[in-house]
Amino acid sequence: MRRYFLILGLSLLFAVTAFAQQDAQFSYFMHNRLYYNPAAAGLENVTRLTALHRSQWAFYQSDFDDGGAPTTQVISMSTPLYKWKTGVGAHIVHDQLGPQNNLEFQLSGAYHLAINDAKLSLGLRAGFFSQSINWDYLRAIDENDPVLAGKTSRESQVRPDLAVGAFFVDEKYYAGISFNHLIQSSFDFGINDLRNALSSHAFLTGGYYHNLSTMAQLHASTIVQTDFKQYNVTLGAIVTMMDRGREKMWGGITLRQSEDIGVLLGYHFLKDKSLKFGYSFGYIVKDQAAKQPTSHEFLLIYELPPIGPVQRKVQHTPRFRH
């Protein structure tokens, strides 16, 4: 009987964190497109390097050592290949959730199709998803439970992963849809009763740019995440201040489905404004008793100078028309 209490407890741990553990949520989702959609590879027409760190429920402490509060890091690279009208990208994700640790390595490729002044991108992603569990962070009802017999302090399993997506971008609008974990690989750590498959997830993203003035631009965005059983909606609005036609600094807010409110701040460095640093402070407004109320995100983006043809709008001049 005690064996099944342990199995039930571990199963509930996996079930409760299933939505978050497979696909972390970020306040800076609008600057992390490749993580959500493989079709975003190379879509910005520049080589972009991105690093993102999120500390969820900062300074959370339990009554015993359970691995601490969730933290997530993402490092990504995306670049266009103009000659073949494609883009490629890669990203690594490290997601620490108490006793559980997830590590991803993903490669993305996208084909870009021009539609007048807009672009449609179709993407494919393949990679590996590693899941680890630290048994030392789990408290068994019975210390001599046979389920834990022979278990090391840490176990890991690696499984293949696959995702597809589409992205449409115009001068002022963009929208994307993607589906990940299509293989639905499972992890059991040698315990059949704990077999846990990655659920397929869908992401819907959208955004709109509006010039408030010659010196300010509004970027409104949204993302809907769903595992087809539950969903999560995040809304964002960022105002970017311009300096001589270049982005200089930004400030904004995000709202995540009555769960938390985030404040976003950022600044562009270097002469060509190619280095961007952003910070987000999140405050939990729901179920505060079960978690620490604050979260923090740090964003760093560097864009390399274009090495291919720069795409510009065609300007029609009557002098050269026949």
Q: Which of 292, 183, 165, 235 is nearest to 25 (CA)?
A: 235
Q: What is the pLDDT of residue 316?
A: 39
Adjacent-strand bridge partners of 300: 51, 277
Q: What is the pLDDT of residue 62?
A: 63
Q: 0.85 exceeded by the pTM?
A: no
Q: What is the pLDDT of residue 168?
A: 97
The better pLDDT of the pair 144, 263 is held by: 263
CA 308 – CA 311 distance, rounded (Å): 9
Taking the domains of the chain in order of start, what are their residue ranges? Answer: 2-145+157-306
- The per-residue pLDDT for range 12-25, each reduced to its tens digit, is 333 333 344 468 88
For residue 251, the SS3 value is: strand
- The per-residue pLDDT for range 163-183, each reduced to its tens digit, is 999 999 999 999 999 999 999
- pLDDT band of 217, cuts 50, 70, 90: very high
187-190 long-range contacts, CB within 8 A, separation 24+ = 187/131, 187/157, 187/159, 188/157, 189/133, 189/155, 189/157, 190/155
Instruction: Answer whether residue 240 shows pLDDT above 90.
Output: yes
One-character DSSP codes across 84-143: GTEEEEEEEEEEEETTEEEEEEEEEEEEEEEETTEEEEEEEEEEEEEEEEEGGG---SST
Q: What is the pLDDT of residue 146?
A: 62
244 contacts: CB under 8 Å, gap ≥ 6: none
CA 140 – CA 9 distance, rounded (Å): 9
Instruction: Answer whether residue 120 shows pLDDT above 80.
Output: yes
Q: Which of 27, 40, 64 is nearest to 140 (CA)?
A: 64
CA 200 – CA 186 distance, rounded (Å): 12
Q: Taking residues 106-124, report their average pLDDT.
A: 96
CA 279 – CA 285 distance, rounded (Å): 19
- pLDDT band of 6, cuts 50, 70, 90: very low
Q: What is the pLDDT of residue 150?
A: 60
Q: What is the pLDDT of residue 61?
A: 65
- The per-residue pLDDT for range 218-229, each reduced to its tens digit, is 999 999 999 888
Superfamily covering domain 2-145+157-306:
monomeric porin ompg (2.40.160.40)
Q: Residue 186: enclosing H or E segment and its boundaries?
A: strand 186-187
- Joined tokens for residue 25: 């949520």
- The per-residue pLDDT for range 251-310, each reduced to its tens digit, is 999 998 867 899 999 999 998 889 999 999 999 887 666 566 789 999 999 999 776 555
